[in-house]
Amino acid sequence: MTLTLPRRATAEFTGTALLVAAVVGSGIAATTLSPTDVGLQLLENAIATALALGALILTFGPVSGAHFNPVVSAVDWWLGRRAGTGLDTRELAAYVVAQLAGAITGTVLAHLMFGLPAAAWSRTGRGGGHLWLAEVVATAGLVLLVFALARSGRASAAPAAVGAWIGAAYWFTSSTSFANPAVTVGRAFTDTFAGIAPASVPGFVAAQLAGGLVAVAALAAWYPRAADTADDVVMPHLTRETELR
């Protein structure tokens, strides 16, 4: 029996956990270091998140592809299901469970590193059509980017490109670019700068899923054979047929 899927799932768990720890932890640090300047807090949070995301893609990309995002994994499954590439249904389920569990663990880790209680429900409401539209845009752009890079043979640029997109989208979207259902769920467990109230989570997740659908439509128009390179999303990685030794 191959060990590929357990290795990939644990990479997705750990990578997502460290990503959320970076988001939440840098938010806590920012409010401590710059308590009266929200703009500077956001800048500090965005830079730390973008840099951490790039480093984590480099670390875990060769093992699992470094999806760290259920929408990316779902689109990978959807596009590759007929071409025999990307994730199969079992792998998709393993990835999504690992990502969600990792996101919650990452919040707990960030809290413990800063001497806070392990978890606390956020009281920061984030709702409204403008925020949901922002999440559609941020998620669609992210998904389109990673599949376009793979299809055009530039997956090696993903660490820098994905980090750049998320870092920029912190600033040009009103939602500050969550763009990830797992990260959204994880951030519901922190009542700090990065938090989102549990009641606001469903709206954000729905918008992110809609963004994934927009990206699928865009890929059909601009990269109609994107499924051929689904195994290279976000980076070339272990598949059912291959295993690093």
Residue 242 within any structural domain of the chain: no
- The number of folded domains in the chain is 1
Residue 14 within any structural domain of the chain: yes
The continuous run of DSSP H or E covering 184 comes out as helix 181-187
Residue 244 within any structural domain of the chain: no
Residue 41 reports pLDDT greater than 50: yes
Residue 207 within any structural domain of the chain: yes
Taking only the tens place, the pLDDT of each residue in 111-145 is 999 999 999 999 999 999 999 999 999 999 999 99
Contacts of 32 (CB under 8 A, 6+ apart): none
Q: What is the CATH number of the domain that holds 48?
A: 1.20.1080.10
Longest Cα–Cα distance of the chain, Å, equals: 56
pLDDT of residue 239: 77
Residue 190 within any structural domain of the chain: yes
Mean pLDDT for all residues in the chain: 95
pTM of the model as a whole = 0.95
Closest CA to 24 of 100, 126, 114: 114
Q: Are 66 and 57 in contact (CB under 8 A)?
A: yes
Q: Domain range holding 123?
A: 4-232
Residue 63 reports pLDDT greater than 90: yes
**Could you tell me what percent of the chain has a pLDDT over 90?**
92
Of 134 and 244, more confident = 134
Residue 240 within any structural domain of the chain: no
Closest CA to 190 of 24, 18, 21, 15: 24
Q: 3-state DSSP call for residue 52?
A: helix
Query: Amino acid letter at 164?
Result: A
Q: Are 234 and 57 in contact (CB under 8 A)?
A: yes
Residue 1 reports pLDDT greater than 50: no
Q: 3-state DSSP call for residue 173?
A: coil
